[in-house]
Structure 1
Amino acid sequence: MAVRIRLTRKGRKKQPFYRIVVADSEAPRDGKFLDIVGTYDPMQNPAAITIDNEKLADWMKKGAKPTETVESLIRKVGTGAAAAA
């Protein structure tokens, strides 16, 4: 089971809101996930990004790999886990 850290979409039509989740790579985008690591709200100015650094670091130590988009969000926030990515 390959584990990925990726976005899942919430919110209404034309008003996206994303959760940063840890999920099996074969699970559907908005389907079953293992843990919620943070949120991303692109509708705010500037975009609001919140990440639980402890959970993120723990999952990355266990071998979870972030997607390119999540990796760029981690870099924008400047968490310590970005070095591990």
Structure 2
Amino acid sequence: MVVIRLSRGGSKGRPFFNIVVADKRVRRDGSFIERLGFYNPTAKGGEETLRIAQDRLTYWRSVGAQASPTVERLIKQGAKATPAAAPAAA
């Protein structure tokens, strides 16, 4: 089965997560099929906290990929932030 999950990077005490599409049998930080974005929980100031390629996310979900509970939460969090920013830019 194909899953959308977080892959940890960064140094000790400064986590950084890539949002990846991977086979469920592969270990957390192992090989992946595609990188969809990132999540930086320790972002400060003007740094970007979350970025997800929505078009690729939609594609992978359409072919049956399942998102982990944490990624589901981040997708909802990103969806709330996006509509608020779009009208201000227009």
TM bracket (short chain): 0.7 to 0.9
Q: Which residue of 2 aligns with 1:16?
A: 15
- Whole-Å separation in 1 of the counterparts to 2:43 and 2:30: 25
Tell me, yes or no, if structure 1 residue 48 matches structure 2 residue 42. no
Which deviates the most, 14-23 or 43-52? 43-52
- Whole-Å separation in 2 of the counterparts to 1:75 and 1:50: 12
Corresponding pairs, count: 78
TM-score calculated relative to the size of structure 2:
0.82
Segments of 5+ residues of structure 1 without an aligned counterpart are 80-85
Larger radius of gyration: 2
Residue 45 of structure 1 and its aligned partner are, at CA, apart by 4.3
**Regions of 4+ moved over 6 Å:** none
Segments of 5+ residues of structure 2 without an aligned counterpart are 81-90
In structure 2, the residue corresponding to 1:78 is in which secondary structure?
Answer: helix
**Any idea what the Cα deviations from partners look like across 1:26-48, whole Å, max 9, x if unmatched?**
10000010000110000014870
In structure 2, the residue corresponding to 1:56 is in which secondary structure?
Answer: helix
TM-score calculated relative to the size of structure 1:
0.87
Percentage of matched positions with identical amino acids: 40
Q: Which has the higher helix share?
A: 2
